[in-house]
Amino acid sequence: MALKGAIVVDTERCKGCSVCIANCPTGTIALSKEVNSKGYNYLYMANPDNCTGCTNCATVCPDAVITVYRVKL
Amino acid sequence: MDIKDIIKPENKVYGKTPLLKDAILHYCPGCSHGTVHKIIAEIIEEMGIQDRTIGISPVGCSVFAYNYLDIDWQQAAHGRAPALATATKRLMPDKYVFTYQGDGDLASIGTAEIMHACNRGENIVVIFINNAIYGMTGGQMAPTTLLGQVTATTPYGRQADLNGYPLKITELIAQLEGTCYVTRQSVQNPAAVRKTKKAIRKAFENSMMKKGTSFVEVVSTCNSGWKIPPVQANKWMEENMFPFYPLGDMKDR
């Protein structure tokens, strides 16, 4: 059974600390080149096909900016 | 499958709890405080005790904790959160009372308060954030600073002959008769976050069973104070802090 996930990032609250990127087992996420209004490079799904919706990124996020969605295929 | 088909309310598996307010946390990027705030908010939501929880915020970076968690708060003088929590819990025994303190607050100026509150066995929860430094004031040496660690006031590293030894306050507190649950956790990866959540939940449940004080230390990072980026700070913590501050339960009865 395959799992497919996706995340939604609250880009205005994201501070670009990268703790989530270090804990992503599938290399889905990265920091964007653009910055938010506070000047932080925010998180985005660089490889959305890899995401399994494991919630690791959201669990370690200090600012609770990540919402995780998951479906069973 | 298209991302738009995945992002639907019925597929949501994890998101920000409504107990965390919309205010943007003032903490530095990657600060462990945010993660611990989130854990506490999730536990309070899961236990359904939002209207029965009173937090005591300390002096330090987390002084503004009352801006982020949608529960009742009281702010204590520096180090005196356990004294305030004692009064609150004794006056309102049906409330869940917890203090949230850093190492500069709990292990330095508030040593007397925490020792005696734990020794009396007050039915409160103490959440102790140990990042081995005074974060708010600019990274000065704290009682918990490791030997050899460079801080603003120990530019050549902490030396035992000049600055004394790091204080393992949690081990001291574990010896006291009044405590029922003493543990040390961390929040640098998902497994650690889940363990910490379990520990804090247990502490909250203990406080209603009149078993004594529950004390949860969270070994944390202060990447601004340590002057290393967040991800490397987590690694530094694993390599340097964990050998001196080993994780695990010290007491559970």
CATH number at residue A16: 3.30.70.20
Asked if residue B85 is part of any domain, the answer here is yes
Question: Are the beta carbons of B41 and B20 closer than 8 angstroms?
Answer: yes
Stretch B205-225: mean pLDDT, rounded?
94
Domain count for chain A, please give it.
1
Q: Residue B183: enclosing H or E segment and its boundaries?
A: strand B179-186
Asked if residue B63 is part of any domain, the answer here is yes
Pairing label, strands B96-102, A29-35: unpaired
Residue A1: per-residue pLDDT: 67
Tell me the chain B residues in contact with residue A69 when contact means C-beta distances shorter than 8 Å: 6-8, 11-13
Q: Report the predicted TM-score, pTM, of the whole model to 2 decimal places.
A: 0.95
Asked if residue B66 is part of any domain, the answer here is yes
Structure tokens at B29: 């990027």
Confidence band of B3 (pLDDT split at 50, 70, 90): confident
| Strand residues in A1-73 grouped as ranges (E) | 3-9, 29-35, 41-45, 66-72
What gap in Å lies between CA B50 and CA B72, rounded to an integer?
A: 8
Tell me the chain B residues in contact with residue A6 when contact means C-beta distances shorter than 8 Å: 3, 6-7
Is B25 an 8 Å CB contact of chain A? yes
Confidence band of A2 (pLDDT split at 50, 70, 90): confident
- pLDDT, one tens digit per residue, over B125-152 is 999 999 999 999 999 999 999 999 999 9
CA neighbor of B127 nearest in space, from B49, B206, B67 = B206
Positive or negative, the Cα torsion across B241, B179, B96, B89? Answer: negative
Interface of B with A in 166-195 (CB under 8 A): 187-190, 193-194
Stretch B164-190: mean pLDDT, rounded?
95
- pLDDT, one tens digit per residue, over B90-107 is 999 999 999 999 999 999
CATH number, domain with residue B68: 3.40.50.970
Tell me the chain A residues in contact with residue B231 when contact means C-beta distances shorter than 8 Å: 17-19, 21-22
Helix runs in chain B, H state only: 3-6, 32-47, 81-91, 103-104, 111-120, 160-163, 169-174, 190-208, 223-226, 230-236, 242-244
The boundaries of the domain holding residue A46 are: 3-72
Residue B238 half-sphere exposure, CB side, CA atoms within 13 Å?
9
Question: Are the beta carbons of B212 and B203 closer than 8 angstroms?
Answer: no
Length of chain A: 73
The boundaries of the domain holding residue B40 are: 3-130+148-252
Distance from A39 to chain B by nearest Cα, in Å? 12
Query: Best of B13, B25, B62 to disrupt the A interface by mutation (most A CBs within 10 Å)?
Result: B13
Asked if residue B100 is part of any domain, the answer here is yes
CA nearest to A19 within chain B = B231
Tell me the chain B residues in contact with residue A35 when contact means C-beta distances shorter than 8 Å: none
What gap in Å lies between CA A69 and CA B216, rounded to an integer?
A: 31
Burial B122-161 (b: 16+ CB within 10 A, else e): bbbbbbbbbbbbbbbeebbbbbbbbeebebeebeeebeee
Amino acid, single-letter form, for residue A61: C
* pLDDT tops 90 at residue B5: no
What gap in Å lies between CA A23 and CA B148, rounded to an integer?
A: 29
Share of chain B above pLDDT 90, in %: 97
Question: Are the beta carbons of B181 and B148 closer than 8 angstroms?
Answer: no
ipTM field = 0.94
Confidence band of B53 (pLDDT split at 50, 70, 90): very high
Contact call for A56 and B17, based on CB within 8 A: no
